[in-house]
């Protein structure tokens, strides 16, 4: 049978086949490289452009920088969210302030946005006329964070150390008759700038100022606040 003879036949020039097949394989490789090289160059150039245009932040920014939660200068009698006290025009350079009467507690509820790492409460505190060693007690959520004591136009401020809360209170004016109008006596007043910072604040906070004055609205002494600004960071 011819087929069996063919299968048994192992003579012949295998190198000729080898050369032809190898040449064909190399040719195919060269052709393939030519076809895909343009695409690869395009992609690598796109990757380079994308990476070089990318900026990496070295720190995680908070969700927001600063948000005003409450602000009031009590102009036009606007309480600005405060309860428990009333706006009075004290005249002179003091003008309209939140007047905290004898044994009154002025109160401001503050809603703190989610993600806030700090809440800051700033305001001016006035000690008016002939206070005689009477206090204004400033508290956050019922905890006293600053206690101001007034005496005839002067003011001293005691700051208890409360974990997570830092307070600065600077007496900026003493013995100057800033509030002169209406029932206010022609006596020297004092003013302090108060800043309270609470770290990791709760969702809701209450800022209060209590007056332990022995005399009231028609008397000869008063505590008041003005220029309130509450922010979250
Ligand atoms: Ca004012
Ligand atoms: Ca006065
Ligand atoms: Ca008194």
| Residue 58: predicted pLDDT | 41
Please give the pLDDT value at position 19: 80
- Cα 91 to middle of ligand 1, angstroms: 10
What count of Cα atoms within 13 Å lies in the side-chain half-sphere of residue 176?
12
Ligand nearest to the CA of 174: 2
Distances (CA, A) of 146 to 115, 136, 156, 173: 27, 8, 10, 18
- Residue 121 near residue 196, CB atoms below 8 Å: yes
Which residues surround the ion ligand 3 when the cut-off is CB under 5 Å? 132, 214-215
The pLDDT of residue 179 is 92
Identify the bridge partners of residue 24 per DSSP, sorted by sequence position.
Answer: none
Among all bound ligands, the one having the nearest atom to the CA of 179 is 2
- Considering every ligand atom shown, identify the ligand nearest to the alpha carbon of residue 190 and give its number: 2
pLDDT score for 184? 74
- Ligand with the closest atom to the CA of 211: 3
Q: Which ligand is nearest to the CA of 73?
A: 1
Going from the Cα of 71 to the center of ligand 1, the distance in angstroms, rounded, reads 11
Ligand 1 centre and the CA of 1: distance in Å?
A: 121
Residue 73's pLDDT is 98
Quote the ligand 2 centre to 218 CA distance (angstroms): 13
Helix/strand/coil (H/E/C) assignment for every residue in the chain: CHHHHHHHCCCCCHHHHHHHHHHHHHHHHHHHHHHHHHHHHHHHHHHHHHHHCCCCCCCCCCCCCCEEEEEECCHHHCCCCEECCEEEECCCCCCEEEEECCCCEEEEEEECCCCCCEEEEEEEEEEEECCEEEEEEEEECCEEEEEEEEECCEEEEECCCECCEEEEEEEEEEEECCCCCCCCCCCCEEEEEEEEEEECCCCEEEEEEEECCCCCCCCCEEEEEEEEEEEEC
Tokens of 88: 């009075």
Q: Which ligand is nearest to the CA of 175?
A: 2
- Per-residue pLDDT of the chain (233 residues), as tens digits, is 565 665 676 666 777 777 877 888 877 777 777 777 777 777 777 777 776 766 544 444 555 689 999 999 999 999 999 999 999 999 999 999 999 999 999 999 999 999 999 999 999 999 999 999 999 999 999 999 999 999 999 999 999 999 999 999 999 999 999 998 767 778 899 999 999 999 999 999 999 999 999 887 666 899 999 999 999 99
Report pTM.
0.73
Q: How many angstroms does the Cα of residue 182 sit away from the middle of ligand 2?
A: 10
Nearest bound ligand to CA 224?
1
């Amino acid at each position: 049978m011819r087929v069996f003879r063919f299968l048994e036949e192992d003579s012949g020039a295998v190198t000729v086949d080898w050369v032809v097949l190898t040449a064909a394989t190399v040719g195919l490789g060269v052709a393939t490289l030519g076809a895909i090289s343009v695409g690869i160059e395009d992609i690598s150039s796109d990757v380079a452009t994308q990476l070089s245009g990318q900026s990496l932040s070295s720190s995680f920014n908070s969700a927001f920088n600063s948000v005003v939660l409450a602000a009031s200068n009590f102009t036009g009698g606007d309480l600005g969210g405060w309860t428990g006290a009333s706006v009075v025009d004290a005249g002179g350079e003091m003008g309209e302030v939140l007047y905290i009467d004898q044994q009154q507690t002025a109160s401001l509820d503050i809603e703190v946005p989610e993600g806030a790492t700090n809440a800051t409460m700033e305001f001016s505190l006035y000690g008016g006329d002939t206070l005689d060693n009477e206090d204004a007690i400033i508290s956050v959520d019922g905890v006293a964070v600053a206690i101001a004591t007034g005496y005839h136009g002067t003011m001293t401020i005691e700051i208890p150390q409360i974990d997570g809360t830092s307070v600065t209170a600077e007496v900026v004016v003493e013995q100057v008759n800033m509030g002169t109008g209406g029932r206010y006596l022609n006596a020297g007043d004092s003013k302090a700038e108060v800043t309270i910072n609470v770290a990791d604040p709760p969702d809701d906070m209450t800022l209060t100022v209590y007056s332990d004055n022995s005399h009231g609205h028609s008397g000869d002494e008063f505590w008041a606040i003005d220029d309130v600004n509450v922010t979250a960071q």
